[in-house]
Copies of this chain bind each other. A is one copy, B any other.
């Protein structure tokens, strides 16, 4: 395992140490185990709090989106493992400015169970709570079983749009509605070229031949749609769009948010080569890409591969997408 770390068991906590050391003006650590990241300034009175959580190893997802116009707090699990119920609760308390709390997270069994339990405890304490789960990965289940789909990079749009709505002073019901619309309108698919190594086990997340890729694979190595030889960037972009477009019913003149995301090792150069083809195909259909995001937004540590997410916009969603936001995770 060729990684820059100390003890594998300390990977997550030392990463969090470094994170708050780097951004003390923006972020603080809470919880009896230090596994909650929240805005340094505390909850904003009167603003709906937005909370997320999930396993580590996906930076900037999840905790990287705690910031202005985005999230208020995040419960942090071990690598690829859900956060504890107590930390989900603690994150919600840290985010609670008196206007209620939205739990907004990816559709994974463990995360769902723990956030549901946290929600029950919070409601017993009369904290108004709503939950929205993002399930954007079309490769993880057919449309008829959408509730089984996993959440991947589409989370970023749900964070951004719900975060902007909350920053405007919207109610909990309104913020939850925006999050739901972002989640419902977004579709993603990924392609994996190499696995990553989970620090505590020292083992690759899956195995794959030197000339093979897996189309539709999940970010923890969950099985995809096909495994076979590497194809060209243009062919991969076309196949990704063939998976996403039928579910979005886009017509000429429609506007879509487009996210081309690296799963980790795949460099920015390759993402732009992918985006080039995505923009061509959308252009041929008369569909307008809006504020494309091309970069590392949801990763699996050093996994090589990429994902494509599309979100159909209306004028309100586009306004929220373009609203100012700031997280300390990347700076010029």
Contact = CB atoms under 8 A, between A and B. Distances in A.
Interface string A240-269: 000000000000000000000000111111
Question: Which of A191, A193, A272, A273 neighbours the largest number of chain B CB atoms within 10 Å of its CB?
Answer: A273
A269 B56 contact: yes
Contacts of A105: none
B267 A267 contact: no
Nearest to A230: B2
Given A332-B160, A332-B326, A5 B270 contact: yes
Given A18-B273, A279-B21, A291-B331, A59 B4 contact: no
B332 A67 contact: yes
A267 B60 CA distance: 10
A143 interface: no
Interface stretch (A115-123, A146-154, A298-306): A298-306
B295 A329 contact: yes
Interface residues of A, number: 68
A191 B264 CA distance: 19
A184 interface: no
A211 B1 CA distance: 8
A251 to B, nearest CB: 21
B233 A59 contact: no
A320 B250 CA distance: 45
A276 B59 contact: no
A287 interface: no
B267 A11 contact: no
Contacts of A325: 332
A19 interface: yes
A15 B59 contact: no
Ranked 5 nearest A-B pairs via Cβ:
A18-B272, A18-B276, A265-B265, A59-B268, A4-B270
18 contacts: A2-B193, A2-B194, A3-B270, A4-B191, A4-B233, A4-B271, A4-B274, A5-B233, A11-B269, A15-B270, A15-B272, A18-B275, A18-B276, A60-B268, A265-B304, A266-B302, A267-B299, A327-B332
